[in-house]
Amino acid sequence: MKKYLVTGSYGQIGQALIPAMLERYGKENVVATGRKRKIPLFKEHDVIYHRLDVRDQFGLRSLIVEYDIDIIIHNASVLSATGEKNPQLAHSINIEGFYNVLEATRELNLEQLFAPSSIAAFGPSTPLENTPNNTIMRPTTIYGVSKVYSELMGEYYNQKYELNFRSLRYPGVLSPDEPGGGTTDYAIWIFYEALKRKMYKCFLGPDVRLPMMLMSDCLKSTFDLLEADDSKLTDRSFNVTAMSFTPEELAAEIKKYIPDFNIVYEPDFRDKIARSWPQSLDDNEARKQWGWDPEFKFEKMVEVMIEGISQKLGIDQK
Ligand code: AKB
């Protein structure tokens, strides 16, 4: 069995990924890391957890050696909205941190580096409808710039050193776990506010269409690419998506469950970020090269989110 080290392990994706990895690969083969001292959720699951800042190259290398790590899943990242508030922090974590992880993977001859990218790697000059896998990438956020950097460096190390780099351009990922610092986060907070207060003030305009997927599809795409046969991959970074919708369409679907739900729109700086991103993605390369096939579409996603967040809030929806 391979041994995995995960950075940024308690973010929105990590909170779902780590328990899924424990089940799939065994507790003893997964080392979760992050900047916080302790993570109560991980204590509950008896996860091996170590405090690690990805900018600390000595700390990173010692953990790799101590646990005889084969594969790194590098999730530590400052997301789009937080990045625009503090571009210097985003540069240091997303670019310097990524470089440390990449170099450790090369120097210690690890088997694979999986480092997710994002739809944020695209920008306003990209064709924004049905965005192809390989197209113009001139993002206008520091987060997007850092994702283009990591995709290109990963691809460069793959050509130059045969480093097994793989990346997915995640769209907005939806789960009942609280997100932090992203632009697509509205599509999670809307459920919390609809269920708690029947009212949501949306920081995007009603017509901003963005690609999204439910967490279970995010995990499926991650495991599928991690475990894909290398000889089948002609790309290293892949678009993946399951659906696209606007805040207005999402609010209308939520109203089917909560008829007196109301939404108002007060677009802020995140509206501009969202409008610079693809509205929909062409994920045919992922489908062709490693069999990507999402399970959840829009209506089912809303049902799953209402159920999951009701449960979290202790609200009986029946
Ligand atoms: C964000 O909104 O910043 C992230 C992303 C799309 O990468 N969820």
Candidates 52, 153, 151, 124; CA nearest to 93 is: 52
Q: Is the CB of 80 under 6 A from ligand 1?
A: yes
For the chain, give the percent of residues with pLDDT over 70.
Answer: 99
Q: Do the domain assignments include residue 125?
A: no
Residue type, 10: Y
Q: Does any domain span residue 284?
A: no
Q: φ and ψ at 148, to 5 degrees?
A: -65, -40
Regarding whether 187 and 103 lie in a shared domain, the answer is no
Residue 184 sits in a domain whose CATH number is 3.90.25.10
| Domain identity same for 114 and 190 | no
Q: Is 287 part of any domain?
A: no
- Cα 48 from Cα 125, distance rounded (Å): 44
Within-domain flag for 289: no
- Residue whose pair of structure tokens reads 């399970």 in the numeric block: 295
pLDDT per position as a tens digit, 163-186: 999 999 999 999 999 998 999 999
The residues with which 34 forms a beta bridge, in sequence order, are 51
Q: Whole-prediction pTM value?
A: 0.97
Average pLDDT, the chain: 97
Inside any domain, residue 110: yes
Minimum CA distance residue for ligand 1 atom 7 = 118
What mean pLDDT do residues 105-127 have? 98
- Does 156 lie in the same domain as 260? no
294 contact partners, CB below 8 Å, separation of at least 6: 213, 217, 220, 221, 240, 241, 242, 243
Which pLDDT value is given to residue 44?
A: 87
Count of domains forming the chain: 2
How far, in Å, CA of 53 to CA of 31, rounded? 14
Residues 162, 56: one domain? yes
Q: Distance (Å, rounded) from C-alpha 294 to C-alpha 215?
A: 11
Q: Which of 4, 49, 143, 200 is catalytic?
A: 143
**Could you read off the pLDDT of 259-318 as tens digits, one per residue?**
999 999 999 999 999 999 999 999 999 999 999 999 999 999 999 999 999 999 999 866
Cα-to-chain-centroid distance, residue 94: 13
Ligand 1 pocket, mutate which of 131, 173, 209, 271 (most atoms under 8 A from CB): 173
Burial (Cβ within 10 Å: 0-12, 13-18, ≥19) of residue 304? middle
Does one domain contain both 161 and 147?
A: yes
Show the beta-strand stretches assigned E in the chain. Answer: 4-7, 30-34, 48-51, 71-74, 112-114, 117-118, 165-170, 172-174, 199-202, 210-214, 237-239, 243-245, 262-265
Which DSSP symbol is given to 179? P
Q: Are residues 104 and 185 in the same domain?
A: no
Structure-block tokens of residue 138: 């001139």
**Which atom of ligand 1 approaches the CA of 179 most closely?**
8
pLDDT at 180: 87
Q: How far apart are CA 195 and CA 223, in angstroms?
A: 32
Atom of ligand 1 nearest to the CA of 171: 6
206 and 220, same domain (yes or no): no
pLDDT of residue 318: 61
pLDDT of residue 4 exceeding 90, the answer is yes
pLDDT tens per residue across span 49-91: 999 999 999 999 999 999 999 999 999 999 999 999 999 999 9
Q: What is the mean pLDDT of residues 148-160?
A: 98
CB neighbours of 148 closer than 8 A, spacing ≥ 6?
117, 121, 137, 139
Indicate whether residue 175 lines ligand 1 (CB < 6 A): no
Residue range 225-261, pLDDT digits in tens: 999 999 999 999 999 999 999 999 999 999 999 999 9
75 ligand 1 Cβ < 6 A: no
Cα–Cα distances in Å, from 215 out to 147, 295, 312? 20, 11, 16
pLDDT at 194: 98
Residues 68 and 186 in one domain: no
233 occurs within a structural domain: yes
Identify whether residues 163 and 108 lie together within a single domain: yes
Q: What is the pLDDT of residue 317?
A: 67
pLDDT for 185: 98
Q: Are residues 200 and 264 in the same domain?
A: yes
**Ligand 1 close to Cβ of residue 208 (< 6 A):** no
Report if residue 291 sits inside a domain: no
**pLDDT tens-digit profile of 204-228?**
999 999 999 999 999 999 999 999 9
Can you give the residue range of the structural domain that contains 271? 173-211+243-279+296-313
Nearest CA to 247 out of 233, 236, 262 is that of 262
Confidence grade of residue 146 (pLDDT, cut at 50, 70, 90): very high
200 carries an active-site annotation: no
Check whether residue 104 and residue 182 sit in a common domain: no
Question: Torsions phi, psi of 211, nearest 5?
Answer: -75, 145
Mean pLDDT for 115-133 is 98
Answer yes or no: is 318 within a domain. no
> Does residue 119 line the site of ligand 1, with CB under 6 A?
yes
Can you give the CATH number for the domain in which 225 is found? 3.40.50.720
**What is the C-alpha separation between 317 and 105, in angstroms, rounded?**
47
Q: Do 224 and 272 sit in the same domain of this protein?
A: no
Nearest CA to ligand 1 atom 4: 182
